[in-house]
Structure formats: C-alpha cells, structure tokens
Amino acid sequence: MLLDKIVIDAFEKNNIELVTTVPCKQLSGVIAELEARASMMHIPANKEDEGMGICAGAFMGGKRSAIIMQNTAIGVTINTLVTLTQFYRLPLPMLISFRGELREPVACQVEMAVHTKALLAQLGIPTYHFHNPDDVHELDEILKYTFMCNKPVAILTDASFWKGE
Amino acid sequence: MIRSEIIKNLVPVLSGQLVVCNIGLPSQEMHLFGDQPSNFYMLGTMGLSSSIGLGLALAQDKTVIAIDGDGSVLTNLGTLPTIANNVRDNFILLVIDNGSYGSTGDQPTYAGKKTSLAAVASACGCENVIECQADEAVSVVEKAIASKQMTIIICKCVSGNIPVPVITLDPVVIRHRFMQSVQA
C-alpha cells in the first residue's frame, strides 16, 4: 500500500536504521514494508517497554531507532518513557496505531482510546494525529523534529488514515 | 559471596568495556568500585538492562556486557526470546542471580526457588548459556569476552547487600560520556 511505503521511506530518509515493533492489525502493512527494507534492522519485541530499551541502546550505539506499536502500549510503557527515554533525553519516534477511533469494530479498544491523548499530554509528549491520508506528508518533518529535540514523539495513526486512500 | 563482591572482583575484567548496569544496587556498586565513562548506569526502569545492552550490541561492533539480576530478568522475561533470535556475538548478558530482589529488601524471587533462568534461557533458544558460581564469575566473563560469541551467564550467589551511596550523576551526563566511549 502506498501509505506503508511513504512511512518507511520517511524513516529511511531520516536515517532510522533500527525499528522495533509489537504488531497491530492496522500496522501489518507498514511492518511488512519495514521487514522488506534492507536498509533497516527490524527487531520484533515481545513487549513495548522491551522495545524501547532496545531503541535506547541502539541510539546510544550510534543508530537512530524508532518503535511501531499500538496505542494500548502507552499504558504499558509510561514508566519506561519517563525514567529512560525522557530522563536520559533520548529521541524516540513512536508510530502508533490509534485503535478505538472511528471505524473501530472492537468495543474494548475504545476504552484505551479515550485515555490515549490525555496520557500523552500528561507525559508532555509531542503528539501528532494522522486522520487523513494526506497527513502522512508531515511525517518527514516530525521525524526531523524528534531527532532535533531528543524527546519521545507520538504519531497516532487512526483507521480513517489507513483506510482513507 | 554476595553480589557486591562479584562486582568488585569483575572491575578489572570490565575495565574499558561497554557495560550496562542494572537499576539500583548493581549500578551503585559498579559506580563505587569501578566507575568509568563506558558504564551506563540505569537510574530507573527495572528490567531493561538486557534490552538496552542488546540494542547497543546490534547498533555497533564493540563488546557489550549487560549486568542484570534475576528479579529484573523475571520482570522482562520476554527479553530472552528476543536475544536468542537476534544473535550478536559482541553481546554478553551477565545475570547475577542471588535469588532475591536485593535492592528492595531481599524478598525472594522465583529464580531462587523452582525456576532455573539458565533452563529458561536455553528453552528460549539462547545457544551459549553458562551457569556458574560466584567464585567463577571472573574467569567465566573473561572467557566469554575472549570467545567473541554471544553468551548468557547465570552467576549464582547468595543474597545480601552492603551500604552504598546513590548515584548523583545527572542522567544526561551518564549518557553523554557513555556515548563518547562508544564512539571512541
């Protein structure tokens, strides 16, 4: 799919060389695109905090890193975001599937969706919400911004974004 | 022998190496006995020493030794399959297994009961898993560094702590000097 390619192209253009993932149905295309890209190491993680640890190590080792995960992971990773990523001032682009928004078939996903932006705001994490397919063209600037300011940055991508093209 | 003695004994072997130190007393002991810019001290985030170490090993070619504890590995047990399936021969995971949560008052862990972390690591697919006793730690770590093979060491010891001061270095300073050591 075109969006998957544009996302991974933006990662590549910004010299991201290691990406950890915990899958989501909404992200299967982008993860497949990542897996097929020889310029980037893809390290699947069993839990998102583990993935953030790998990203922290990779960045300190000299490779820009990123994580791809679902918004439910915000609940899993608050301690890691605060005591590792933010405390040591590490840049971390987080490409997040924003489940529980319009077009969501699973009621339980809404329970985390209603807290997602509030939690990110509470944590002081710059947050972007991709709702229309055209929003993808901001990704390049968002990645540049992330590596400029050395912060975790959330890119929430909802079902309308992924299905809208 | 308790963990602090193992760490003290390891200082000469770890000199000049990239070392990721686990949260709490292990970092404080390493800082007290063998502070060096190439030590990355975790000031928080229980469980992620092995993950940070793996990320470092994946990103560059110098040897990385991640010092972990049994309680921390149990907290982040998902790390072992990830390590097993992403083999990097510059990575050594040293788990100092005293069968207790040492930094929080020596509450027992399951690793001190029926659960064998060496067996768990092997079952996860890790290929070079060595279980050793505290007095063997120095020679086992030395051999692992020389072997240039990814090695998981489970070093058994008794629980117990000595008083050590907290680390007051700013995290950004820890990261900065560590990254300079990586690049040196």
Residue A12 domain-assigned?
no
- Give the model confidence (pLDDT) of A56-96 as tens digits: 999 999 999 999 999 999 999 999 999 999 999 999 999 99
- pLDDT tier at B169, thresholds 50, 70, 90: very high
Please report residues of B whose CB lies closer than 8 A to that of A53.
45, 47-48, 50-52, 54-55, 76, 79
Look at chain B and count its residues: 184
Residue A156 domain-assigned?
yes
pLDDT score, position B117 = 98
Please report residues of A whose CB lies closer than 8 A to that of B56.
57-58, 60-61
Quickly list DSSP for B59-118. Answer: H-SS-EEEEEEHHHHHHTTTHHHHHHHS--TTEEEEEEE-SEEGGGT-EEPGGGTT--HH
pLDDT score, position B103 = 86
Residue A80 domain-assigned?
yes
And the tokens for B176? 């900065």
Q: How many domains does chain A have?
A: 1
Burial of A145 (0-12, 13-18, 19+ CB in 10 A): middle
> What CATH number should be reported for the domain holding residue A43?
3.40.50.970
Helix, strand, coil: what percent of chain B each, to 5?
Answer: 45, 20, 35
Closest chain B C-alpha to A48 CA, distance in angstroms = 10
- Give the model confidence (pLDDT) of B91-118 as tens digits: 999 999 999 998 899 999 999 999 999 9
Average confidence (pLDDT) over B73-88: 98
ipTM over 0.95: yes
Q: For residue B134, what is the DSSP state? A: G
Residue A152 domain-assigned?
yes
pLDDT score, position A1 = 76
Please report residues of A whose CB lies closer than 8 A to that of B48.
49-50, 52-53, 56, 80, 84
- pLDDT tier at A164, thresholds 50, 70, 90: confident
And the tokens for B148? 């240039």
**Nearest in space to B152 (alpha carbons), one of B163, B142, B141:** B141
Residue A25 domain-assigned?
yes
Residue A62 domain-assigned?
yes
The whole-chain average pLDDT of chain A stands at 97
The whole-chain average pLDDT of chain B stands at 97
Does the structure show a pLDDT above 60 at B179?
A: yes
CB distance B25 to B102 below 8 Å: yes
Can you list the alpha helix ranges (DSSP code H) found in chain A? 2-13, 28-35, 48-60, 73-80, 107-122, 139-149, 159-163
- Give the model confidence (pLDDT) of B115-158 as tens digits: 999 999 999 999 999 999 999 999 999 999 999 999 999 999 99
Average confidence (pLDDT) over A121-149: 98
Residue A112 domain-assigned?
yes
Residue A13 domain-assigned?
no
Q: Which CATH superfamily is domain B3-183 in?
A: Thiamin diphosphate (ThDP)-binding fold, Pyr/PP domains (3.40.50.970)
- Residue B99 in contact with partner chain A when CB distance is under 8 A: no
- Host domain of residue A117: 2-6+18-163
CB–CB contacts below 8 A, A to B: 121
**Nearest in space to A128 (alpha carbons), one of A104, A94, A160, A92:** A94
List residues in chain A touching B: CB distance below 8 A.
17-18, 41, 43-47, 49-63, 65, 79-80, 82-84, 87-90
